[in-house]
Amino acid sequence: MFQQKKAAVLKGMEGDSMDLMTALVKGAGITKESLTGEKPPAQTLTDREILGNAFVFIVAAHETTANSIHFCLVLLAMNIAAQRHLQADLDEIFQGHPVSEAEYEKIIPKLFASMAGAVLNEELRLIAPVVGIPKSTLKESPQPLEIGGKTCTVPADCYISLITPAAHRNPNQWPTGPPANPDKPTHPLSNLDNDLEEFKPERWILDPDAKNTASMPEQEADTEASDLGVNTAADTSAALYRPPKGAYIPFSEGHRSCIGRRFAQVEILAVLALIFSQYSVELAVDAYVSDDEVDKMTDQAKFEVWSKARDEVTRQMNEDMGAIITLQLRKGAIGIRFVKRGKERFDFNAI
């Protein structure tokens, strides 16, 4: 791709495109004159640096978002009541109009403030793509840090790793409720006395009607700080719960926060809206029974076989997850199936 862009520049055919690779090539100062030797090269980025940045952009823009969409689907298949709540909100937002006809300025703020935004936030709370976020203080520049009302000093040139799962499950920073089933905790070792290990998108919703008057998070950003290059916009809509600063960091914070944060959020919200406005997602039970057998089952029998599938997925998500670059399922696969709304085989609204 890089060589193709350079060839296009050499032929004078680069055009006005501003995809990421074109931006890197133009930003590096690569021109037709520099490539032909008509002018001294003034390349500000080496070829190695361009390829390195391109790799990071591809991984950051593709793998993280794809994994988050995958886990949203799995978690919603495991939590049917949350899925029905999401579909009800989508019906209210789109009013029967096709998702493809939606206007960004009108619909996206409503999605951010609805159950769709709550599902996205909760999935990123439970399964943040990056487990450890590297930070450091500057050389010869200690930094004060306030913790629990006390000021501590972080030494200069000090490496710090922010452990995302710990921050997202800290009961001192998050409102909690009792676990859904104390005798059968979601995770056998963590937060046994609260629900922070559980997928509960409802914890984010403050006012069910707020989605109708919601604005985009960046409209509330600190303009002065934004002018300095610091993205101060919140990760969540003002209509939803906003955790204390530092408690929710799926995109990191400050000068080195994710530059593609809002793009990724909009991508995921659009996918959720497109899928769940037309379909439901269910756990596959093929390992236990056939489709014909399911069709003949009583509701109680369906619930029992579905529960087996849910328990196996819970085990997989506790035991088979791992991180190389991003956190994802490293062993096996999780079976799900899409069905047209109204044709669901497993519809247990109390779950």
Give the residue numbers of the binding site.
258
**Are 168 and 195 a contacting pair, CB within 8 Å?**
no
The H or E element that residue 302 is part of is: helix 299-319
CA–CA distance, 165 with 325 (Å, rounded to integer): 15
Structure token digits, residue 315: 């085990």
How far apart, in whole angstroms, are the C-alpha atoms of residue 58 and residue 64? Answer: 10
Which residues, including other chains, have CB under 8 Å from residue 98's CB and lie 6 or more apart?
A: none
Residue positions in the annotated binding site for heme? 258
Contact (CB, 8 A) for 141 and 256: no
Give the C-alpha separation, 105 to 215, whole Å.
9
Side-chain half-sphere exposure of 172, counting CA atoms within 13 A: 5
In this structure, what token pair is assigned to residue 181?
């089933």
* CA distance linking residue 280 with residue 201, whole number of Å: 17
- Calculated CA dihedral for residues 315, 320, 322, 327, nearest 10 degrees: -60
189, with CB counted inside 10 A (0-12, 13-18, 19+), is exposed
The CA–CA distances, whole Å, from 143 to 152, 154, 156, 162, 229 equal 8, 5, 7, 16, 20
